Structure 1
Amino acid sequence: MVTGDGAYIKRINRNLILQEIMNNGLISRAELSKITGLNKATISVQVQDLLKKKLIYETQQEHHAIGRRPIMLSINGSVGYVLGIDIDFSSIQFAITNIKGKEVEYIKINPETKDYESIVQLLTKYIQHYMNKFANSPYGLISVIIAVHGTVNNDEVINFVPKLQWKRKNLKADLELDIEIHIVNNANLSAYAEKVYSGQNDNLMSLMLTSGIGAGIIMDDQIHKGFNGYAGEMGHMIISPDGKKCPCGNNGCWELYASESTLLMELSQLLNRPTLTLKEIAELIERRDSTTMEYIKQFIKYLSIGINNMINLYNPETIVINSGILRIYPNTVKEIKSHLKSSISDYREITISKLGIKACVIGACAFAISKFLGISNLRIQDSDQFKEQTSVNNQTPELVNI
């Protein structure tokens, strides 16, 4: 039984009501009372307060039965907006969603610099631009969640980003903006996106195979961060002690054998093609080019070694793999499973993510919505808006020229 002062109980009830309104899309007061166990008087008081704050609105649901149409409650998405930013090695993604989780703007840019101070200036201009753009909505731009492909401690200070060679950077403080900002590991946000938008279970592991390998781990409905916040750096698990040299300082790290950046580089060399795009790899796979198919089979074997280790360490119910290449390669999951022969490995499902390159940045938006509304078990209905979308704007808008 939850105990505490009146304000605390009121806040818990408010968050519970908002959670059910968000997760159901449309819901009546009577249904809210039934699902939450709160009495009708409590529901009525809370709903009136939320209506006054413009966080929800009333609408009448169409029906063909005799009598009054029921009055339904829904989240008022347009009262506020959140910004998710994903800083990768060669690109930065920006996504704006309203507080209902609907995407209203998305761009991907390829900065010419990786210098930390220059990136801080670029981010500052973008964030200020969006703060101004949404200033006229009741809650404006509510908060910014920034994802980095490296270790972030519990104080949200960047410890190390191997590909960018950023060490001990306090990005939140350096931005010097009058808005709530959080710095989060990218893989954790990707895992959160799978849970919120794809309806995955509460014990899952999300593997991002983009510029390196990051693992986001959700255990018992909570993001697993570890002692200092560094859990999930599976890309730097050593699978070959005398293997290739990694920017992190060790040899034989997993991401040197099973990340998409490695695949693109090594397959380009094998095919004697200076550059190789995902589209070109898709064409090679469709033609069943022997060199390409043989290399990807070896790639999957190395990937499976790490997955087997992770299954034994964490016993996840679901493993979600985010890879554009493996999404188009035939029988990916079947081949991975063929390498998982240990009699002690236990999991329920391995699946390929449908959220693609946007997983991290929309996970950032969902994380911001959860914080703002106080919803611990967030589910967003319209997940199809993000699936399989790859169109981007690679031109840096004039407002961020630096």
Structure 2
Amino acid sequence: MLTGDASYIKKINRSIIISKIIEHGMISRADLAKITGLNKATISVQAAELLAEELILETHQEHKNLGRRPIMLSINQQAGYSLGIDLDKRVITFTLSDLSGTTVDTQSIGIEASDYTLIVKLLVEQITHYKKRCSHAPYGLIGAVIGIHGIVNNDESIYFVPHHRWHNKNLKADLQNETGINIYIENNANLCSFAEIVYKHAQSENLLSVSLYSGIGLGIMVNSKLLKGCDGYAGEIGHMIIVPDGLPCRCGNLGCWEQYASELSFIKQLSKRHNKENVTYDEINHWFVKKDPVTSELMKDYIKFLSYGLNNIINLYNPEILVINSELLRLYPNALDEIKAHLTSTVGQYRKLQISEFGKNACSMGACALAIKNFLEVNELSLSFDESERKKSFTLSN
């Protein structure tokens, strides 16, 4: 039996009510009571407070029957905005969303160097810029979550970022001190898995998301919570050795999985074989369509090495859902069929294997969702994903 003081119980009830309002989009007080098991008086008191705080709205639902029109409750999408930031090797992507998790603005800025001070300065400028643009909303910019392509401690400090060669950086404190905004730091693969749970697989209790871009990371969701290990380092699956004494890796080992199955490793090989620098996804897609023999040969090997690692992950975790986040595989015809053909073990079991619909947006989407979750102080968050609604028209103050 759950016990605690009145304020604690009230906080739990508030969290449940907000979660269900967001999950259902629009819901009446009566239906909230049925779904949550809370009495109508509790629902009425909580709703009144949330309305006074401008976090929810009331709407009279249209209907043709006689009698009073039901009053529906919904989240006030424009009460505040969250900023998701994907800090990758050569580009930083900024995604702004409203409180429903719908993207309303996004931009990418290229970075030429890895100097920590310069990148912090750029981040401060952009966060301050978004803070000003959102100042018209009751809660303004509610927070910024930054996805790091590297190792993040449980205290949100950065232990190591391989591509930028950063060691022991407190980016959270550096940005909060300069911007006055709540800043959260998280591993990018964790944010990708969080996006999958929040936007697509809310009912899943065991989901893994493998991100294959500049490196390889694994986000592990168990009971809708991130599994991060004792220090926060869980999921560095790209440094699993699959080829003894193989290619050297920045981590110091030889034969790490990401040297064979990250998109960066594939593009490097493809560029070398085609004698062409800066190969784009459009060019790769063209070669797929034309069935270019060089590209086809490299993809055959790529799928093989990718499957080695996926087989190990499946044996380790027995996932309900295993999501592969890869722009390359989104373009490649029959990618899933070819991968599954390599997963022939009678021991390793999974229920569903799929390629993420979110692609490179997954990290920043998960970042926005995490900022919303932290701001609303809810234990569970389920947001809708509708591609046609993303980047909708939005007026920001200058």
**TM-score tier after normalising by the smaller chain length:** over 0.9
**Match of 1:142, SS?**
strand
Match of 1:330 among 314, 330, 333: 333
* Secondary structure of the structure 2 residue equivalent to 1:377: coil
Conserved in 1, the CA contact under 8 Å of 2:219 and 2:226? yes
What are the residue-to-residue correspondences of 1:53-202 with 2, within 5 Å? Answer: 53-175=53-175, 176=177, 177-199=179-201, 201-202=204-205
Q: 1:334-392 CA deviation, whole Å, 9 max, x = no partner?
A: 111111121110100110100111100010000011111122221112342588x9xxx
Which residue identity is paired with 1:133?
R
In 2: Cα distance, 1:323 partner to 1:103 partner: 21
Distance 2:52 2:323 in 1: 41
Unaligned runs of 5+ in 2: 392-398
Q: Residue type of the partner of 2:129?
A: H
Cα deviation digits, residues 176-230 of structure 1 (max 9, x gap): 2312111100000000001111235221111111111111111122111011000
1:392 maps to which residue? none
Shift of 1:40: 0.5
Structure 1 gaps of 5+ residues are 390-402
Indicate if the aligned counterparts of 1:197 and 1:383 stay in contact, CA closer than 8 A.
Answer: no
Contact 1:198 1:383 in 2 (8 A): no
Quote the residue 1:26 is aligned against. Answer: 26
Q: What's the CA shift string for 1:209-259, capped at 9, x where partnerless?
A: 111111111112211101100000111111112111111111111001001
SS at match of 1:265: helix
Report if aligned partners of 2:57, 2:74 keep a CA contact under 8 Å in 1. Answer: yes
Structure 2 contact 206–321 (Cα < 8 Å) conserved: yes
Which residue identity does 1:142 align to in structure 2?
I
- The percent of aligned pairs where both chains have the same amino acid is 52
What residue is the counterpart of 1:281 in the other structure? 284
What TM-score do you get using the length of structure 1 for normalisation?
Answer: 0.94
Cα separation, 2, equivalents of 1:241 and 1:118: 38
Per the TM alignment, residue 66 of structure 1 is displaced from its structure 2 partner at its CA by 2.3
What is the letter of the counterpart of residue 205 of structure 2? D
Q: Which amino acid aligns with 2:85?
A: I
Provide the residue aligned with 1:396 in structure 2: none
Letter in 2 for 1:285: F
**Distance in 1, Cα, partners of 2:192 & 2:157:** 19
Q: In 2, are the aligned partners of 1:208 and 1:323 still within 8 Å (CA)?
A: yes
Aligned mates of 1:147, 1:268 — CA distance in 2: 28
Read off the aligned partner of 1:384 and give its amino acid letter: E
Residues 23-60 of structure 1 show CA distances to partners (whole Å, capped at 9, x for unaligned) of 00000001000000001111100000000000000001
Alpha-carbon distance in 1 for matches of 2:75, 2:272: 52
User: Deviation per CA, 1:285-319, whole angstroms, max 9, x where unpaired?
Assistant: 01111111121111011000000111111111111
Distance 1:305 1:8 in 2: 48
1:164 CA drift (Å):
1.1
Counterpart of 2:241 in structure 1: which amino acid?
A: I
2:130 counterpart SS class: helix
The answer to whether the aligner puts 1:52 opposite 2:55 as a matched pair is no
Would you say the 8 A contact 2:102–2:389 is kept in 1? no
Residue 235 of structure 1 aligns to a residue in which SS? helix
The answer as to whether partners of 1:80 and 1:142 remain within 8 angstroms in 2 is yes
- Distance in 2, Cα, partners of 1:382 & 1:208: 20
Equivalence for 1:367? 370
Is contact 1:16–1:36 with CA below 8 Å preserved after alignment?
yes
Partner of 1:246: 249
Q: What is the CA RMSD across the aligned residues, in angstroms?
A: 1.5
Equivalents in 2 of 1:351, 1:71: separation in Å? 40
Q: 2:200 touches 2:385 (CA, 8 Å); kept in 1?
A: no
Check conservation: 1:59, 1:73, Cα contact below 8 A.
yes
CA separation of 1:216 and 1:173: change in aligned 2, threshold 3 A: same
CA–CA distance in 1 between the matches of 2:313 and 2:143?
A: 33
Q: Contact conserved, 2:323 with 2:356, CA < 8 A, in 1?
A: yes
Structure 1 stretches of at least 4 aligned residues deviating more than 3 Å after TM superposition: none
Alignment of 1:309-388 (within 5 A): 309-385=312-388
Q: What's the offset of the Cα at 1:324?
A: 1.1
Aligned residue for 1:46, secondary structure, equals: helix
Instruction: Give the TM-score taking structure 2 as reference length.
Output: 0.95
Taking the aligned partners of 2:378 and 2:296, their CA distance within structure 1 comes to: 45
Q: Deviations over 1:67-98 (max 9, x none)?
A: 22211000001011111111000110001111
The yes-or-no answer on 1:213 pairing with 2:209 is no
Q: Kindly indicate whether the alpha-carbon contact (under 8 Å) linking 1:358 and 1:386 is maintained by their aligned counterparts in 2.
A: no
Contact 2:323 2:353 in 1 (8 A): yes
CA contact (8 A) 1:214 1:232 kept: yes
CA distance in 2: counterparts of 1:274 and 1:135, whole angstroms: 43
Does the 8 Å CA contact 2:28/2:72 hold for their aligned counterparts? yes
